Homo-oligomer: A and B are copies of this chain.
Amino acid sequence: MTDARPSSSKVYRGDLRVPMREVRLTDGTSVTLYDTSGPYTDPAVSVDITRGLPRRREEWILGRGDVVRYDGRPARPADDGHRDERSRDHDLRSQDAVFTGGADPARTGHDADPARTGHGRGPLRAAGVPVTQLAYARRGVITKEMEFVALREGVGAEFVRDEVAAGRAIIPANVNHPESEPMIIGRNFLVKINANIGNSAVASTIAEEVDKMTWAIRWGADTVMDLSTGRNIHTTREWIIRNSPVPIGTVPLYQALEKVNGRAEDLSWEVYRDTLIEQCEQGVDYFTVHAGVRLAHVPLTVGRKTGIVSRGGSIMAAWCLAHHRESFLYEHFADICEILAAYDVAFSLGDGLRPGSIADANDEAQFAELRTLGELVKIAHAHDVQVMVEGPGHVPMHKIKENVDLQRELCDDTPFYTLGPLTTDIAPGYDHITSAIGAAMIGWYGTAMLCYVTPKEHLGLPNRDDVKTGVITYKIAAHAADLAKGHPGAQAWDDALSDARFEFRWEDQFDLSLDPDTARSFHDETLPAAPAKTAHFCSMCGPKFCSMRISHDIAAAYGGGPEGPEASEVPGGSGMSGDEIEAGMRAKAEEFAAGGNRVYLPLAD
């Protein structure tokens, strides 16, 4: 189950074997790109998803000598949304039949559950003190994870440690997710993107969700959030984590609500705590926790155009209202920190009151919650727990920057993680685009990770094509932000592609693009013939009007080219008198005329 990308090799850097994608170009050079796709794109690796990925971090984790293995919380039918064991068996079998094609008897019962086979030796947790990357960083320890991300980002390991220690960056890396390839989220690193997957009560299967995960990372998702609800929620997550090389995030509240049959008022700290531990033991790397939705904030949403649009936010608001009590997430926040510190699960502090329309952007409900999140950041940091903060939502362009500035100020420069934002409400079906505009801008302003939005947002569940479109669109936004932030090295990719374009190396142009398959097929539509792939023109202008062709002729006339003379060496450049320029240009014009004034090449073949 591996599938390399065209003209690309998986290469591993250093002793830690940091994976990169090397794209081979037709001119003999190559370009090396950041690679999120894991072993799935390495033909040298054989991946069996029933066994899970190799546990590459296990040795690092155990080597630190600060965790213990223990029996763990026993799995219960309710974890998968079942009332008794019998119905669970039944449901799992039918799921597994879908997942495996129904052929392998070894995969139709509990034993096929990787939670009980591959990883089933009991979870790890801290033996005593917190085992978080933040705790290590503060103690001055550079972990293997920090070394890994330093190589991956092309920066120094000490810089990574310093950013993590300051809380400006996080490395989501649960000790029970040893399969992961460490990555870092912070404003001073490459902008990251998250892809949401997850079945719902209405549609989708476990098999589809695991496939969506591998598909999302193939195209560049840096983390994946499993937002499953409904049946088999535990089992779906187990399969995803065991096979994921990227950090997995969840919203534990969704599963907790399943355990109380969807009745928000029946939620309790005990049910929620049980769910947190269940997911910590499975290996979830970060949790969205909507602890900022306080009782006093709920009335602020009443006058809104679109009320509360966050699922987690609305569930907690309903609970607060039903009990007329302060949120149990807020009241137990320190308890949550203690649990997360023992596994190194990071917080993603949920923005339960994010605006769901242009009209509601930057309102008091939203910013009241943000102030609360700022308080919670301090508590998390006091417990050595890594934390990032979620942001909107729907925001018109002129109100975007205020979000970043305020988050930075109120939340001690912790990483910001935003959903879009969508810059208009009028284009359902195209919200990957309405939000890519906002995402690119907010990334430039300093957001560390962008949560993707697919074309199906507001309308339906994303399918495989939607996931790909969402990921590619957000890679564009993230890279545009990297360019605008002047990230060292970001522009090298653009330059390599533009060089290929200018030199009519069509195959290289395709291979360097975010989506080579689409680029190639679009070119084929107008000019399908193979010679067109080496033609010194393209279908937009045809051979007569090719401006790039003419540019080459101009450059040749001046004795230069794309890698030609500096400005000071050409007529009109600095250091020449008016007469010299005049004479030089006349001479060049004569050369150009002598060469036949060629402004185009004849149509090849």
Among candidates B303, B306, B539, B557, residue contacting A567 with C-beta atoms closer than 8 Å: B303
Among candidates B456, B509, B566, residue contacting A303 with C-beta atoms closer than 8 Å: B566
Contacting pair B310 A476 (CB below 8 A): no
- Residues of A within 8 Å of B, CB-based: how many? 144
- A563: min CB distance to chain B, Å: 9
Query: Which residues from chain B contact A501 at a C-beta distance below 8 Å?
Result: 306, 356-357, 425, 458
Contacting pair A597 B434 (CB below 8 A): no
Contact with B along A297-314 (1 / 0, CB 8 A): 111111111111111011
Contacting pair A202 B553 (CB below 8 A): no
Q: Is chain A's binding surface mostly helix, strand, loop or mixed?
A: helix
Query: Which residues from chain B contact A264 at a C-beta distance below 8 Å?
Result: 550, 597, 599
Contacting pair B567 A300 (CB below 8 A): yes
Contacting pair A359 B494 (CB below 8 A): yes
| Complex CA distance for A310 and B550, rounded to whole angstroms | 10
- A457: min CB distance to chain B, Å: 8
Query: Which residues from chain B contact A229 at a C-beta distance below 8 Å?
Result: 541-542, 544-545
- Given A310-B547, A476-B437, A498-B359, residue A600 in contact with residue B262 (CB < 8 A): yes
Among candidates B323, B460, B519, residue contacting A589 with C-beta atoms closer than 8 Å: B323
Query: Which residues from chain B contact A539 at a C-beta distance below 8 Å?
Result: 200, 202-203, 459-461
Query: Which residues from chain B contact A548 at a C-beta distance below 8 Å?
Result: 306-309, 314, 356
Query: Which residues from chain B contact A324 at a C-beta distance below 8 Å?
Result: 585-586, 588-590
Contact with B along A272-296 (1 / 0, CB 8 A): 0000000000000000000000011
Residue of B nearest to A253 (CB): B545
Among candidates B309, B323, B515, B572, residue contacting A429 with C-beta atoms closer than 8 Å: B515
Contacting pair A301 B551 (CB below 8 A): yes
| Stretch in contact with the other chain, from A10-18, A34-42, A233-241, A522-530 | A522-530
- Given A425-B497, A427-B515, residue A302 in contact with residue B558 (CB < 8 A): yes
Among A306, A484, A526, A550, which residue has the most Cβ atoms of chain B within 10 A? A550
Judge whether A271 is part of the interface by a CB distance below 8 angstroms: no
Query: Which residues from chain B contact A171 at a C-beta distance below 8 Å?
Result: none
| Chain A residues numbered 66-116 whose CB sits less than 8 Å from any CB in chain B | none
- A390: min CB distance to chain B, Å: 15
Contacting pair B526 A476 (CB below 8 A): no
Query: Which residues from chain B contact A560 at a C-beta distance below 8 Å?
Result: 302-303
- Given A480-B434, A519-B459, residue A299 in contact with residue B428 (CB < 8 A): no
Contact with B along A445-478 (1 / 0, CB 8 A): 0000000000111111101000000001101110
Contacting pair B444 A308 (CB below 8 A): no
Among candidates B310, B318, B554, residue contacting A301 with C-beta atoms closer than 8 Å: B554
Known interface pairs A322-B597, A358-B494; 9 further A-B residue pairs with C-beta atoms within 8 A, sorted by A's residue number: A201-B542, A201-B544, A203-B539, A299-B572, A303-B566, A308-B554, A311-B546, A458-B509, A460-B525
Listed A/B pairs (10) with beta-carbon separation below 8 Å? A202-B527, A296-B581, A297-B572, A302-B567, A317-B550, A321-B592, A324-B586, A359-B491, A396-B480, A461-B526
Q: Which residues of A contact B (CB under 8 A)?
A: 200-203, 229-230, 254, 257, 262-265, 295-311, 313-315, 317-318, 321-324, 356-359, 364, 396-398, 423-430, 432-434, 436-437, 440-441, 444, 455-461, 463, 472-473, 475-477, 479-481, 483-486, 491, 493-495, 497-499, 501-502, 509-510, 512-515, 518-519, 522-523, 525-527, 538-548, 550-555, 557-558, 560, 562, 564-567, 570-573, 581, 585-586, 588-590, 592-593, 597, 599-600
| 5 nearest A-B residue pairs (beta carbon) | A307-B551, A201-B542, A324-B589, A460-B526, A299-B572
